Amino acid sequence: MPLKEVTGMELTKREVQGKQVDVVKIDHMENTDVVTSYILCPISTLQILINFLKDTTKDLEVNPEELDPLSAQVGMLIYSGMDSHAIENMLNISHKDLDEIYNKLLKIGLIDVVFVRKEVQLTPKGVRFITDSVKPPSP
């Protein structure tokens, strides 16, 4: 697993063959899913491993002061699988406001752009087509 895909880690206990043993629990991304892996080895090696992982993934940590409550809430809604339109409706915010929040989240590395939504309007040619299409047929 690439270290840049690690989303969390901790030294914890798990039951293995009926006994509670120390393990390192690592949460990481695989495609768009969060997956949990466990590593079992002697406790001294586990401590070295957890220290190494914490040190090498330090740049993935976020200072909570970097996010205002609304931006953090948008992040949680993205994590839960909501799309932009649903987020706008749920939080009662405009598309422009959501774009500003997305820009904040992009700037601090919390999100990636996967799709750009287009806002469109009809051209004169489009208006003509539509108005001609809805006219009743000529006798």
Nearest to 45 by CA among 20, 21, 61: 21
**In this structure, CATH architecture of domain 62-139:** Orthogonal Bundle (1.10)
Average the pLDDT over 97-110 and give the result: 94
Position 62, amino acid: V
What local confidence, expressed as pLDDT, does residue 3 receive?
82
What local confidence, expressed as pLDDT, does residue 82 receive?
92
Contacts of 90 (CB under 8 A, 6+ apart): 77, 82
Contacts of 122 (CB under 8 A, 6+ apart): 130
pLDDT exceeds cutoff 80 at 72: yes
Region of poorest pLDDT, from 47-51, 55-59, 91-95, 125-129: 55-59
pLDDT exceeds cutoff 90 at 87: yes
Residues of the chain with CATH 1.10.10: 62-139
